[in-house]
Chain A
């Protein structure tokens, strides 16, 4: 059974955010986890209701350490791997 988080880019600044409760966080560790069904329903609801808050909402699979399983999603969540000074790669 896979676990997912829900992510998007914030409309006004483009930064990557994760869903927590009825709001968003920039911190992967604070992201709320969902079952795939819950995540799918949430994505649909956000797409319908939060058009001026976020763009490109989707669900991402994570592992037990709450890190995205796909390399692309890890880099997206944590920032450029080549700029540790400005990214959140240290969190990983």
Chain B
């Protein structure tokens, strides 16, 4: 894992002191709310429906057990005993008081954490693949690059007041697990013709009210030029991006308005100008950062040890969990394990302080003290010995953290919605809970197979409904909560697609039935159990789903 150097530690401490002073001045009346609001947003503090909300950055989703224990302590001491993992690999606390937040930030700084770049019109916390460094299909570990991007973007003076927020994702595997084409900039680590490392770059992807699939702007940027190339993109955006209309301010709209060809020309022209004077990323610096992400000392083991096979045979529930929640590791004899934060009928992404402590202990016992947060609002233990999977499973199960549902219908993404969020039109969580209860039978879920179901409480799409195989969007229909059904979305780079609305919306009860009907249409039409929901949808199209949803009404 990355460890702070003295510069990192100093800027984080300085920022906490600055914010402490700002809070004091706000409370004393020296700062008005209008003056204070942008300052608190630069420190991850929102005012939500019921209280302040603090969003803490988990850079590229990587967490240590020590950090997790600190999050548990914060949840217990300053909040109501729980936290919420978000679709951007961050964690939110729902109930901190404003006057406590400087103390919370002090505590976070003790474990090299902060809330910088979690809100406001800056380059946000970079997101990445939760299996970075352990996935067998990796071209290169994306974390050193994500860390380089973090260092470059934090307090970058030129990019602190962008037209709008700016999100970057980076993926290093053959399969894209970071939804790179739904970010302002998406990066994939690739190898050039000579075998050297570089990046394929997409710009202008995003969700929200104007969903766009990112457009490729360069098939290869040499690694040493990453910074200067991204700077060129951001300069073009900073110059031409609209500041007059919040809804047209994202870079995706600029790409639309300029046209892709002209946008690329502008970026290339800017790059050629600045590249000459820019310092390429020094080899030694890349090597220095890379060293932080060296794998921990691992034993020399064989895949599929006898203990594992025996335990799978002895316990069908364990076997089911292995099938979904265990991801193959590049090191023989190891596995990456998903800790499901989606118990049947639970609140997606919520985790209690006691669970956090337990997960931290399990990370120490079974995973070299390391953890990852995923954009699907789960956690990952990246270094588990296969011969210890059964022991880990039993321990997780005691805390209701071993639901065998990763990638299945009840592994839903759901934003906080109207239960917490000041911008919401409708509740997301109760819908997620109802659907989860409806599909409670895990055998049935395993039979349905791979299916992403994403729920947002408003068009801002924090719940990624546009890219769910099934998406649900909460809307306000003359003062009542209503829900639109969206089908066919896909977050992965190769098949990236924005879902299409099926037709008229549904009531809260109706949307759960509609979801079940959509699944039934899939089951009735799939070629065989190997054809997933999205594959069937692509083959048969929207019509059979529409028919089932609306014709009988």
Contacts and interface: CB of A to CB of B under 8 A. Distances in A.
Interface of A: 9, 11-16, 51-52, 55-56, 70-72, 75-76, 79-83, 86
A13 B49 contact: no
B480 interface: yes
Given A81-B430, A82-B430, A11 B419 contact: no
28 contacts: A9-B51, A11-B27, A12-B97, A12-B98, A12-B99, A13-B51, A13-B52, A14-B50, A15-B50, A16-B49, A16-B50, A51-B29, A51-B33, A52-B27, A52-B29, A71-B479, A71-B480, A71-B481, A72-B49, A75-B418, A76-B49, A80-B420, A81-B419, A82-B347, A82-B430, A82-B433, A83-B347, A83-B419
B80 interface: yes
B418 A14 contact: no
Contacts of A79: 50
A65 to B, nearest CB: 17
A13 B97 contact: yes
Contacts of A11: 26-27, 98
Contacts of B424: 72
Instruction: Name which of A13, A82, A86 has the most chain B CB atoms within 10 A of its CB.
Output: A82
Given A52-B28, A82-B430, 17 more contacts: A11-B26, A12-B98, A13-B52, A14-B51, A16-B49, A16-B51, A55-B33, A72-B49, A76-B49, A80-B420, A80-B429, A81-B419, A81-B430, A82-B347, A82-B419, A82-B433, A86-B80
A11 B427 CA distance: 26
Given A14-B52, A52-B29, A82-B430, A70 B47 contact: no
A14 B47 contact: yes
Interface residues of B, number: 29
Instruction: Name which of A15, A56, A70, A75 has the most chain B CB atoms within 10 A of its CB.
Output: A75
B63 to A, nearest CB: 24
Secondary structure dominating the interface of A: loop
B437 interface: no
Contacts of A71: 418, 479-481
A60 B51 CA distance: 18
Nearest to A52: B29
Given A55-B33, A71-B480, A86-B80, A13 B99 contact: yes
Interface string B85-99: 000000000001111
B32 interface: yes
Contacts of B29: 51-52
Contacts of B479: 70-71
A32 B47 CA distance: 24
B245 to A, nearest CB: 24
Contacts of A80: 50, 419-420, 429
A75 B466 CA distance: 26
Contacts of B51: 9, 13-16
Interface string B420-454: 10001001011001000000000000000000000
Interface in B135-184: none
